[in-house]
Copies of this chain bind each other. A is one copy, B any other.
Amino acid sequence: MKKIEAIIRKSKFDEVRDALHQIEVNFFSYWDVTGVGNEKHGHVYRGVSYSTSDIQRRFLSIVVSDDFVEKTVETILQSAYTGSVGDGKIFISPIDNTYRIRTKESGEMSLN
């Protein structure tokens, strides 16, 4: 099992959520965070320098079985995309075990 953390534009949240539901990724948690960038250098995109400091972002935490990782990443890459600097990041990390509190089930059967 893996945890997929995605830091996206708040304005793309509904699109990302709907796209995840389309591939049957129905459960996840989210909260709002601040993204820090380097004000001194900024980013240059098509010759224009952008400051990416202190932008409001939405942080999604999604735990999925191994065979869902690839399509979940693909789906976020597509639905969170605008093409302008600052579309966000995706981080994948290992999960050792999971539990559903109501049933005390653990492992993949506790995920959906």
Contact = CB atoms under 8 A, between A and B. Distances in A.
Contacts of A11: none
Copies in the complex: 3
Contacts of A41: 26
Contacts of A49: none
Interface in A62-110: 63, 73, 76-77, 80-102, 104, 110
Given A92-B95, A98-B89, A102-B85, A33 B29 contact: yes
A34 B33 CA distance: 13
Contacts of A81: 101-102
A28 B17 CA distance: 23
15 contacts: A30-B33, A30-B34, A31-B34, A31-B59, A63-B89, A77-B99, A77-B104, A85-B102, A88-B101, A91-B98, A92-B95, A92-B96, A92-B97, A94-B94, A94-B96
Interface of A: 2-3, 7-8, 17, 21, 26-38, 40-41, 52, 57, 59, 61, 63, 73, 76-77, 80-102, 104, 110
